[in-house]
Structure 1
Amino acid sequence: MLGWTVGWQQRYACLAQLLAGGARLTAIVPGVTRHGEDIGRWLATQQQGWDRLNEEQRRWLGELGVKKAPLARQAAA
C-alpha cells in the first residue's frame, strides 16, 4: 500500500491547487511542478499504483477526477 504520509497529503494539496487554478488534469504530466515538487510524476505514480492506495486516498483523488491508469499506460511505465 502506498503511504498515507504527510508528503502524500502535501502533494495531494498541490494537485488540488493546480486544478483549482484552472489546470486540466490531462495537462498535469511528469515535469509539472508546484512548490518545487513534481506533481505530474506524483500523479502518474498514484494512477499506476491505484490498487495499492487505500480507499480514502482513492476517494480523495477520485473527487478531483483522478482515475486508475489504463492498463496499457501501466505496462508502458
Structure 2
Amino acid sequence: MHIDWAALGSVFGVSLAVTVGLVGLFTLGIVGLSKRATATGEAGTASAGGPTALARSGAYLCFALCAAAVAYGIFLIVS
C-alpha cells in the first residue's frame, strides 16, 4: 500500500482554504445584515436603524455565493 502524500497534502490544503473562505464569506454576510446605520440625534446620541441598502444587498450576495458553493460541492459529489 502506497500513500501519495503530495496529493493528500494538496487535498488538505484546498479543503482548508475553501472552508475558511466560505466561513469568511458567510461571516461577511452576517456582518452586513447586522450593520447599523447611525445618524446623530439630540445631544450627540446615535440612533440605530436597520442595515443600509448597500450592506443588505452585499450580505445577500455573500449568502448567494455561499449557497452556490454548497450547490457546486453537492453537484461534484453526485456526479
Interval of TM-score (by shorter of Structure 1 and Structure 2): under 0.3
Normalising by the residue count of structure 1, what TM-score does the alignment of the two structures yield?
0.27
Structure number, greater radius of gyration: 2
Normalising by the residue count of structure 2, what TM-score does the alignment of the two structures yield?
0.27
| More helix as a share of residues | 2
